[in-house]
Structure 1
């Protein structure tokens, strides 16, 4: 009975600590009052950088569109982190670098993309057993001194 109580205490502590959730905030949060300022004022790119900061993403294909991404992530014990809440502010500029459009995208239902570690097979490179055997002749018994023939002592 003396050994049962410490083991039970240890197991219960492990169960309690494994159910704890770690919260992590990533990115730049742009609140609603700042979005209203952006919509009401004709700011340039430099003015937006002074007000909010540098954008999270500037796509190469549309450099006149800036994205500010904010993610609220949660992680339990040994599992992968999941996005609890995501807010994206899209700011589109005109050719004169003045704000044209401000859009707030709230994305609470994000999907986790599963990464598959397989590779794409390149057809036409298959080898049969004879080709593999001929290719491997001499491959595993290379000389030790770098010469083509082994030296006998």
Structure 2
């Protein structure tokens, strides 16, 4: 083989590697949705035990109000060195009455996802602002040395 053929093959291989390295990686997260099983949960017929037997344990449950089980499923896509983004999102909310019977089973999608953007990179707290020197020298004199009877010594 001559050098031009070797160089051509190497260039084709390098281009192929470059294009595969930039492809998006799909990652399923949370509950893996099975549409056939989701359709079997019926209000008035099922109860908590039958729902758990059919769908498994929920992703999380409600803490207040009427008992609700949530099955959350997301599929994210990310390119190398980039933060993942949500491509698909589904939530199944199964509500129960006081006796544990299914009242409703509602599905929602990515249209109900709320994106929050924090305001700045600091968390506001109550109290006064301390400067660098106050942080550095703030404890001088507040802790007494052993045997000298300082204000904050042990046993005082």
| TM-score, L = length of structure 2 | 0.67
Question: What does residue 98 of structure 1 align with?
Answer: 101
Matched, 1:67 2:77: no
Deviation at 1:112, TM superposition (A): 4.7
Counterparts in 2 of 1:14-53, with a 5 A limit? 15-28=18-31, 29-31=33-35, 33-39=36-42, 42-53=45-56
Deviation at 1:72, TM superposition (A): 1.1
Question: What does residue 122 of structure 1 align with?
Answer: 126
Deviation at 1:105, TM superposition (A): 0.5
CA distance in 2, matches of 1:40, 1:147: 72
Check 1:118–1:133 CA distance in 2 against 1; reply closer, same or farther (3 A cut).
closer
Deviation at 1:122, TM superposition (A): 3.5
Question: What does residue 110 of structure 2 align with?
Answer: 107
CA distance in 2, matches of 1:61, 1:90: 14
CA distance in 1, matches of 2:112, 2:95: 24
Q: How many residues align?
A: 138
CA contact (8 A) 2:60 2:70 kept: yes
CA distance in 2, matches of 1:93, 1:9: 60
Check 1:40–1:123 CA distance in 2 against 1; reply closer, same or farther (3 A cut).
closer
CA distance in 2, matches of 1:34, 1:132: 59
Check 1:78–1:134 CA distance in 2 against 1; reply closer, same or farther (3 A cut).
closer
Where in structure 2 are there 5+ consecutive unaligned residues?
148-156
Aligned-partner SS, 2:60: coil
